[in-house]
Amino acid sequence: MVKGLGVNVDTHRISGSLSKLEGELNFFQEIGFEYVEIPPAGLDVIMKGKLIPLRVQKVKELLSKYNFKYTVHAPDVVNLRRLTNPLHKKILMASIRFAGIIGAEVVVYHCGKSTDVIDYSEKQQRKAEIKALKEAATLAAENDITIGVENLPEHTVDEVIEVIDAVDHPNLKMTLDVAHLYIAANYRGWDYLEAIKKAMPYVVELHVSDTFGEARELFKDLPDFEGFRLMYGVGDLHLPIGYGEIPFSKISKIIAEDNFSGIVILEINNLAKYAEEYKDSYEKMKRYFLKVNSRKVS
C-alpha cells in the first residue's frame, strides 16, 4: 500500500529563506499533500559538514506546525566516490542527523558518479561509496530512517542495485526517479518498463515528474537555459504530470503488481511557473498511485 503522496521543496527556490519555506508549506497544505521533501542545502542547516543547532531548531519549530510527514533530500552534489574530499561523507551524515531531528522517514542520496582521477581507480571509488554507505545506513537505522539511493540519468538500474546489494543493510534501499530513468532508457535503448519492474523490489520512494526523454548528450551545443531546453524537450525538465511523454498509466500497473508500499514525491522545481498545475498533478498522482491501494488499476 502506498504510504502517501508528497512534494519537494526545491533548494534554489527557498535559498535559505524560512519565510519562503513557510509559504510553500502553506501552499502544499491547501492542495492536500501528505509528505514534504526537505532540502538541507536550501535551509543553511549544515555548514562545512556540521549541523548548526540554532538553525536546525528554527526549521524544526516551523515544520512542527504542520501535519506533514517528511523526507529529506541530501544535497545533489554529495558524491561518496570522491575520495579526495571527506566532506561529502560528513555532509551526508549531517543530513541524516538533521532528518532524525525533524522526524523524517527517508533520506535521498544521489548514487555516486565515478570520475577520471589519477590516484583512484573506478573500482576504488565504488568501494569507497559502499563503505561510506554502510556507515550511513547504520546511522540511519539509529534514527529510524531509510536511505534511498537515487538513480541519475547516467545510471543503470543494475548499477544502483549493485550498490544496494553490496551494502546489504535493511536501512538502505532505492529512490527511483522515473524521469531520470526515462531519459536514460531512451538514450541507451533500454526497455523502460522492464527496468522499472527490476527496480521496484528495492524502492522505498518514487520521484515523479514529467519529461520527454531527450538526453542532453544529444544536444551539447544547446545553451543550458530552461526556455531552450523546453522547446527541444531536453533533459530532466521536472514538468507537471501530463506535460511530457512518460507513460504513467503503465507505471501505475507495475506499481500495483509489485504491491509498492513506499512514498511518492512530486518534483516540480519551478513553482512560480507551474503553481496552477500543482493541484492537477496531485489529482493525477491520486489516480495513478493511490488507486494502487484498491487494486483498481485500469
> What's the rounded mean pLDDT across residues 8-37?
97
Sign of the torsion formed by the C-alpha atoms of 102, 72, 195 and 231: positive
Residues in Cβ contact with 264 at an 8 Å cutoff, skipping those fewer than 6 apart: 2, 4, 5, 6, 205, 206, 208, 285, 289
**CB neighbourhood size of 262 (10 A):** 23
Taking a C-beta distance cutoff of 8 angstroms, is the pair 100, 143 a contact? yes
Q: How do residues 265-275 score in pLDDT, each as one tens digit? A: 999 999 999 99
Q: How do residues 132-149 score in pLDDT, each as one tens digit? A: 999 999 999 999 999 999
Burial 54-88 (b: 16+ CB within 10 A, else e): ebbeebeebbeeeebbbbbbbbeebbbbbbeeeeb
Q: What is the pLDDT of residue 296?
A: 45
**CB neighbourhood size of 123 (10 A):** 9
Q: What is the pLDDT of residue 263?
A: 98
Q: How confident is the model at residue 297 (pLDDT cuts 50, 70, 90)?
A: very low
DSSP 152: P
Q: Which three cell numbers mark 289?
A: 498511485
Q: What is the pLDDT of residue 298?
A: 39
Supply the mean pLDDT for the chain.
94
More confident residue, 222 or 294: 222
**CB neighbourhood size of 158 (10 A):** 11
Give me the DSSP letters along 69-88.
EEEEE--TT--TT-TT-THH
Which helix (H) or strand (E) is 123 found in, with range?
helix 122-142
Q: How confident is the model at residue 118 (pLDDT cuts 50, 70, 90)?
A: low
Q: Which domains does the chain have, with CATH numbers?
A: 4-294 (3.20.20.150)
Give percent above pLDDT 90 in the chain.
89
Q: Write the single-letter amino acid at 44.
A: D
Q: How do residues 148-180 score in pLDDT, each as one tens digit? A: 999 999 999 999 999 999 999 999 999 999 999
Q: What is the pLDDT of residue 292?
A: 55
More confident residue, 245 or 292: 245
Q: Phi, psi (5° rounding) for residue 125?
A: -65, -40
CA-nearest of 238, 242, 243, 250 to 193 is 250
- Whether pLDDT at 121 is above 90: no
Match 541530501 to its residue by C-alpha cell. Answer: 74
Q: What is the pLDDT of residue 293?
A: 54
- Whether pLDDT at 109 is above 90: yes
Q: How confident is the model at residue 232 (pLDDT cuts 50, 70, 90)?
A: very high
Q: What is the pLDDT of residue 243?
A: 97
